Chains A and B, each alone.
Chain A
Amino acid sequence: MFRNKSGEFSWVDFTIDVLRVLIVLAVVVGAWNTLSSGRISLAQWVNLLAAGLSQGSIYALIALGYTLVYGILLMINFAHGEVFMAGAFTTFFFAEALNRTGFLNEQPLLAILLMILFAGLVSMTVAVLVERIAYRPLRGSPRLVPLITAIGASFFLQYAFRGLYGSSFKAYPQVRALQGAVQIGDISIPVAQIFVFCSALVLMIGLHWLVERTRIGKAMRAVSENKEVARLMGIDIDWVILFTFGVGGFLAGSAGVINGLFRPQGVNFYMGFIPGIKAFTAAVLGGIGNIPGAMLGGLFLGVIEAIGPNLVLAGLGIPGANQLKDVIAFTMLVLVLIFRPQGILGERLSETKA
């Protein structure tokens, strides 16, 4: 302890170690206080966990888009939150139409499947267009250039959709089949949350299959490994990159619909901003560029956000603990960057890739 590799005393290592001890202490004391006060029952903790897992699966689906693009281009696509918004916002009108004809409540499963496909296609189109118009001409330029362009694209998309659909808040129709809760003993878990978790799981398994078992997946992995060698092997790099953006977009769009069915309110042009930032955090938490890492990071972030304020902060006697939910999320990010810069599942990257 307190010594660097060459065995000398180092103030930096010392501070980091002290920080480590303090954080562990704060978490233990806070959790102990809360649990021993018994304010929140076991059933309530399970409820919080379930809510955190469903919120986390939405983060995970969006985070996959960040991670896929980063894995291939080493670029952070800050417009990805807006790709999520594009699908969710556009599908609102489709969902309204399905609801008005009664189809949504007659055939909920089929209707939801249609909505997911629709939103996926919209978001995919937006993602592909952004790549084609805003990013491809800049490929090969210094890394700051596409980053700033991504921020510009993000604003452009927000205000383009505001112009298209207006600025007022909208809400998805509520599906009757997703109302109610499953009762296990004195624990009740809302059906909507189970639905969110399961559909996210299906999509993630689908992605895993695509990347690991198909020809295009192999090409994606090859491009991510080394673009030049992949090109020499006859892989059409531009097409693979476009495809990757499309897949990320599809996942973001379906996350938009799943989010809409689970938390119907708050649909407007700005809805992608915060989930986008949270999902980016999740991707970094799990190890950016790593697909299982993004899934794990998303779920982890969702659970921490749901349980953290009540477990740790309230136990430490901090007032307004719930307003500090985002503080917990972003403190996690800082901690990961300090103690495990490569993320939970990330591999140590070489200089050129990091």
Chain B
Amino acid sequence: MKKVLLLFTALSLLLVFSLPAMADSHCMDELGCVEVGPDEPIVIASILAMSGPASFYGTDSLGGIELAILGRDGMLLGRDIELVEEDSHCAAEGGQAAAQRVAADESIAGVIGTTCSGAAQGAMPIISEAGMLMISSSNTSPSLTNANADEGGTYYPGYFRTAHNDLFQGAMGAQFAMEVLMTDAVATIHDGDPYTEGLAVVMADTFASMDGDVVFQGAVSKGDTDMSAILTEIAASGPAIMYLPVFVPESEFLISQAANTPGMEGVKMMTADGSFSVTFAQNTGDAAVGVYMTGPHVAGDAYDAFLEMWAEEQPGGTEAPPSGFHAHAYDGTNLLLDAIEAVAVEMDDGTLMIGRQALRDAMAAVEDYSGLTGMLTCQEESPYSGDCATGTALAVFQITEAQVNDGEWPPPIVWDLSMASSMGEG
């Protein structure tokens, strides 16, 4: 009996002492909290294409993330920032597998990823279910922010992106081709990737809605090097402009071989940000001169400072960013870290509580954030649910001899949306 009494007293004492602590650690967030102990680092994850042919996009974005962390000396709220890297292979299955590993780690506060839209479609159901959020620096497929499943939308709560939606870019290409270049017949080419196909379709639809003639809609396969067959077919359909929003190196093959294809003389060329890479003009050679491309327009003192920092730190062993999404990754990482900073609550014992729903709300509330990629405002309305880029940081560029011969990058801007609105007013 004595023993039982002793045990009871001990247990009740334990309960009394632990009560305040329990009340303290109680998480009020409906999706749960990330608990970061007093000596533990704040953990974020990246899900990027780090292997396979698209891996230079992954290297590019990872550099942006690393520099954003370095820009804060690797510290947030007095703790180290730890980055967990996962590889999505630029494929739905890869995205799914990476997301499963990330979701299993409760210490991860948020994710930067994915590189490819296809991988996001595999990853987002799992990330969303786990209550986490993911910010992409280079997904541009319209379906990812469209909540309407009947229209093919695949939006999941917790998804955000700093990359621009293709709805902006494809329509912009059509508007430029129609109103500025005054071309009336377009041929579009994609490569089967949801990203390039989406762009080609948006461009063709917009062009047709402006009473333009879509004379050819075709596709090449990734890995094709001989484009003579499709170019012959295009020459036979007689377009005034060829719109090829495909990736390098397929765009390089298409443009350089079009120069040798009879019937393609005088056909204008326009590509998109899948080819927006420093080496595009030099690799394509003389045939690239005069080619138009839509892509992210990132400039200004802050960006110059960023490039200097890149050259100094050389993330991933690269001297300069290998593609055009590093600034988006930098902005995305900063948005995530800012949101963590804003919602984290420090307990008496030094534990940090980061509410997962609060984190999503903080991201959704971002308004007029001045990033490297222009003004960012995260929207909630479908088809732009989670779209933080507003399309103002897009422009049409034209390749000149300076890009081909001297490797200057980026090419000069010939048009952007501000010119479109002034044209409309005039």
- Measured CB to CB, the residues of A under 8 A from B are 39-40, 43-44, 47-48, 51-52, 55, 159, 162, 166-171, 174, 181, 188, 190, 259, 263-266, 268, 270, 273-275, 302, 305-307, 309-310, 314, 319-323, 325-326
Contact = CB atoms under 8 A, between A and B. Distances in A.
Given A169-B279, A266-B249, 20 more contacts: A39-B236, A43-B262, A47-B228, A55-B225, A55-B226, A170-B283, A174-B286, A190-B260, A263-B225, A263-B257, A266-B225, A266-B253, A275-B225, A306-B226, A320-B217, A321-B218, A322-B219, A322-B233, A325-B224, A325-B229
A171 B284 contact: yes
Given A48-B228, A166-B318, A320 B218 contact: yes
Contacts of B218: 320-323
Nearest to A186: B262
A264 B263 CA distance: 22
Contacts of B252: 169, 171, 265-266
Contact of B279 (A170, A314, A323): A170
A167 B322 contact: yes
Which of A167, A174, A181 is most buried by chain B, counting CB atoms within 10 A of its CB?
A167
B187 to A, nearest CB: 12
Contact of B223 (A52, A181, A274, A314): A274
Interface string B374-400: 000000000000000000000000000
B97 interface: no
Contacts of A306: 226, 228-229
B229 A305 contact: yes
Contact of A44 (B192, B263, B317): B263
Interface stretch (B51-59, B71-79, B152-160, B296-304): B51-59
Nearest first, the 7 closest Cβ-Cβ pairs linking A and B are: A171-B283, A266-B249, A323-B219, A51-B228, A265-B252, A322-B230, A274-B223
B256 A264 contact: yes
A322 B220 contact: yes
Contact of B221 (A162, A167, A190, A325): A325
B235 interface: yes
20 contacts: A44-B232, A47-B261, A48-B232, A52-B228, A166-B318, A167-B56, A170-B283, A171-B284, A171-B285, A263-B225, A265-B253, A266-B249, A305-B229, A306-B228, A307-B229, A309-B233, A323-B219, A325-B220, A325-B221, A326-B221
B277 interface: yes
A52 B286 CA distance: 24
Interface in B271-297: 277, 279, 282-286
Contact of B322 (A168, A270, A273, A321): A168
Contacts of B248: 169, 265
Contacts, number: 122
B232 A323 contact: no
Interface in B184-234: 192, 217-221, 223-226, 228-230, 232-233
A268 B263 CA distance: 31
A325 B192 CA distance: 13
B185 to A, nearest CB: 16
A314 B237 CA distance: 13
Contacts of B229: 48, 51, 305-307, 309-310, 322, 325
Nearest to A189: B260
Given A51-B228, A322-B229, A264 B221 contact: no
A40 B228 CA distance: 13
B262 A264 contact: no
Interface in B308-329: 317-318, 322
Nearest to A44: B232
Contacts of A259: 225
Contacts of B260: 181, 190
B233 A314 contact: yes
A280 B422 CA distance: 57
Chain B interface residue count: which class? 35 or more
Contact of A168 (B51, B223, B277): B277
Contacts of A270: 52-53
Nearest to B192: A323
Given A188-B262, A190-B260, A265-B252, A47 B283 contact: no
Nearest to A327: B221
Contact of B233 (A55, A169, A310): A310
B406 to A, nearest CB: 14
Contact of B262 (A44, A52, A310): A44
A169 B223 CA distance: 12
A274 B52 CA distance: 13
A311 to B, nearest CB: 9
A298 to B, nearest CB: 13
Contacts of A188: 262
A325 B322 CA distance: 31
A320 B234 CA distance: 11
A306 B226 CA distance: 8
A321 B233 contact: yes
A322 B246 CA distance: 15
A181 B257 CA distance: 13
A273 B222 CA distance: 12
B198 to A, nearest CB: 15
B318 A265 contact: no
A265 B221 contact: no
B350 to A, nearest CB: 42
B231 to A, nearest CB: 9
A259 B226 CA distance: 11
A171 B59 contact: no
B194 to A, nearest CB: 14
Which of B192, B230, B261 is most buried by chain A, counting CB atoms within 10 A of its CB?
B230
B59 to A, nearest CB: 6
Given A307-B229, A310-B229, A265 B56 contact: no
A332 to B, nearest CB: 15
Contacts of B192: 323
Contacts of B279: 168-171
Contacts of B224: 325
Contacts of A162: 51, 55
A167 B262 contact: no
